[in-house]
Structure formats: structure tokens, C-alpha cells
Amino acid sequence: MRHALRSLCVYCGSAAGHDPAFADAARLLGRLMAGQGLTLVYGGGHVGLMGIIADAVLAAGGEVTGVIPRALMDSEVGHERLTRLWVVADMHERKALMAEHADGFIALPGGIGTLEELFEAMTWLQLGYHAKPIGLLNVQGFYDPLLDFLDRQVRAGFLRHEHRALLMTETDPAALLQRLRGFVMPEGVSVFSRREARNLVP
């Protein structure tokens, strides 16, 4: 079954990175999302690529939902002009809410936090806790070494080829959105059956 995409969770750096191409890609993705009526769900900060994509969606007339742990809000990094900002107790609650309120996920360039969130979404997909599309925007080849490593995991027998193939990778934001819209979870790929998975979702 194909999911209708109404909202997308975007994981990205709390820094903007050195290459201006990273910020350009975040801006373009934000504009496209607003134009396609896709609500941005993200970590609620106004720093780095996070702030850049949120501002781009808002400037183009789109909606943004931020989910931020109280501790980060208190250190005054919460974005103050979002459509809605949910302040939660901790990172676990943040990630659960972001995942629950999004119909799909995209990772832009980022650091450790971005990787952790991307791989959590992938882990949940391969297990069958959700069946939402996951995309990686590979700006300027930033993620090439990571993609090589995933291939290495497949060759070494730690990652199933069908699970590796679940991560949709594009260099162009418009192409990535189109791939996400067309995503259908292949039969028999998740570790649990869908029925079992639903019973396991907390």
C-alpha cells in the first residue's frame, strides 16, 4: 500500500557545514516541500541546516512542526516562529513524536545526531515498526563514504540487500521527493510481519 505524503520529517545538521551547497540544498528542499503542501516536521531548532530549512518552508508559505526537548529550548535555540512547536521532556520523546507525525523521512547532510536519527528510522523500517519512505539527499557526494560502508555491510553479511535498498538516495531534492511519493514497502522485507509489528509498536 502506498502512503499519502502530507508531512515529512527532515533530519539535518545543527551546523550549516562549510560548503554553501549544503544550505542551498536545504533551502531548495524547503521551498519544494512548501510548494507541494508537505508539512515539515523537524527538531525545532533555529541553528544550522535545521533553521535554514524551517525558514525556507515558512517563507514559501508552508507549515512547520518543531519538536524540541526542554533542555534545548531552555538554552534558547528553539525556533520562535514555527506553525507549532512542541516542547518535550527528552530526546526519546522528541524522536518518537517526530516519527509518529511524519509520513516519511529525509536526511540532509549533518553530524552524529543526523546519523543517529536516520539509522533509527532505517532500523524501524527494516524491522517493520513502520512502512514509511526514507530518503537521503547526497549533496556534493557528502554521503558517498557512508553509502560505500553500507555496501560493505551487505558484502560482509551484516545487512540484507533488500534492507540496504530501502534507503532511497538522490542528489536532487525534487527527484528525491518524487521517489518518496512512489515508495511501496516490498512484501516480505520487514523482519516482522506487519501484523506482528503493529502489536510491538510502543
Give the nearer residue to ligand AMP in terms of CB position, either 13 or 128. Answer: 13
Contact 72/78 with Cβ under 8 angstroms?
yes
Is 110 a binding residue for ligand AMP by CB under 6 A? The answer is yes
Which of 45, 62, 135, 173 is in the footprint of ligand AMP by CB under 6 A? 45
Is 77 a binding residue for ligand AMP by CB under 6 A? The answer is yes
**Dist CA 81 CA 93 (whole Å):** 22
Contact 52/24 with Cβ under 8 angstroms?
no
Q: How far is the CB of 180 from ligand AMP (least distance, A)?
A: 19
Give the nearer residue to ligand AMP in terms of CB position, either 37 or 111. Answer: 111
Give the nearer residue to ligand AMP in terms of CB position, either 89 or 175. Answer: 89
**Cα→Cα distances 84→43, 54, 78, 129, 179, Å:** 12, 12, 11, 26, 28
DSSP string, 34-93: HHTTPEEEE--B-SHHHHHHHHHHHHTT--EEEEEEHHHHHTT-B-SS-SEEEEESSHHH
Which of 39, 65, 114, 126 is in the footprint of ligand AMP by CB under 6 A? 114
| Residues constituting the chain | 202
Is 131 a binding residue for ligand AMP by CB under 6 A? The answer is no
**Dist CA 108 CA 115 (whole Å):** 10
Give the nearer residue to ligand AMP in terms of CB position, either 27 or 79. Answer: 79
Region binding ligand AMP by CB under 6 A among candidate stretches 27-35, 104-112, 161-169, 180-188: 104-112
Q: How far is the CB of 12 from ligand AMP (least distance, A)?
A: 6
Is 113 a binding residue for ligand AMP by CB under 6 A? The answer is yes
**Dist CA 78 CA 51 (whole Å):** 9
Region binding ligand AMP by CB under 6 A among candidate stretches 44-52, 53-61, 150-158, 177-185: 44-52
Contact 22/13 with Cβ under 8 angstroms?
yes
Binding site residues, ligand AMP, CB under 6 A = 11, 13-15, 43-45, 47, 50, 68, 72, 77, 110-114, 117
